[in-house]
Amino acid sequence: MPNLKVTVLQQPLVWMDGPANLRHFDRQLEAVSGRDVIVLPEMFTTGFAMEAAVQSLPEADVIAWMQDKAQRADALIAGSAALQTERGPVNRFLLVEPNGTIHHYDKRHLFRMADEHHHYQAGDERVVFEWRGWRIMPLVCYDLRFPVWSRNHNDYDLILYVANWPAPRSLHWQALLTARAIENQAYVVGCNRVGTDGNGHHYRGDSRVINPQGEIVATAEPHQATLIHAELSLTALKEYREKFPAWQDADTFTLD
């Protein structure tokens, strides 16, 4: 069964400057090769800005950049951006394959404490797709707090979370990533930004990769702009789920 090589870019973001952020990630990605999945933070073109809903780069430009990077790296490139779409303004998690295929997930749980729900349209579709033999579920930041939405119906192997998760609540970020891995018996990748945004909020990162037993496979130093790498084993995942099949006793939920 295929292993999956993942790279997570824990980086600062330039406030409301799409071209500057793309140039920054151009430089970061130059040295990345031989990976299967490369993960960028939430709203990687702007930072977590409510005004980005109407001042963001065009969706076509962001997708074209991601398609180019995916093709060059021969990897799935993943990250969310504030975009104007047919649905209105959304916080859209884009996942782009080297052949140009695009998967997307619109953030369902909008962060009301920043009035995100007044500026963006909430998504209503749970997304799971397959990439190189792995079933992947993309989620965004505040979604992490809502376990029913991320419940594994025995239909995914890996959750990708991208975030702008502020430093004062870093303990929540770390604990909930671990909880999602354990309760769903799946790998979890969390990519968070670092630095200070245009509203004065500080981010310490704490990006990490966690295995289905809740063990940290790779973690980034807090407050540091860095890349982390991990190799995930589908064989180990399946063996663990067969040996300890707690998933068979999971409760069922119906979402309105």
Q: Is 141 a catalytic residue?
A: yes
3-state secondary structure of 205: coil
Catalytic residue among 59, 107, 116, 191: 107
* Residue position matching structure tokens 């419940």: 151
Q: Is 42 a catalytic residue?
A: yes
Q: Are 156 and 186 in contact (CB under 8 A)?
A: yes
Q: Are 162 and 39 in contact (CB under 8 A)?
A: yes
Catalytic residue among 69, 116, 141, 191: 141
**Sequence-separated contacts (24+) of 32-36 with Cβ below 8 Å:** 32/7, 32/73, 32/75, 32/227, 33/73, 34/5, 35/5, 35/6, 35/7, 35/73, 35/75, 35/229, 36/4, 36/5, 36/6, 36/75, 36/76, 36/131, 36/132
**Total Cβ atoms within 10 A of residue 101:** 13
Tell me how far apart the alpha carbons of residues 123 and 109 are, in angstroms, rounded to a whole number: 8
Q: How many residues does the chain have?
A: 256
Q: Is 5 a catalytic residue?
A: no
Catalytic residue among 42, 59, 97, 116: 42
Strands (E), 113-238: 129-131, 134-140, 158-163, 187-192, 194-196, 202-204, 208-210, 216-219, 226-233
Contacts of 7 (CB under 8 A, 6+ apart): 32, 35, 37, 38, 39, 75, 227, 228, 229
Catalogue the active-site residues: 42, 107, 141
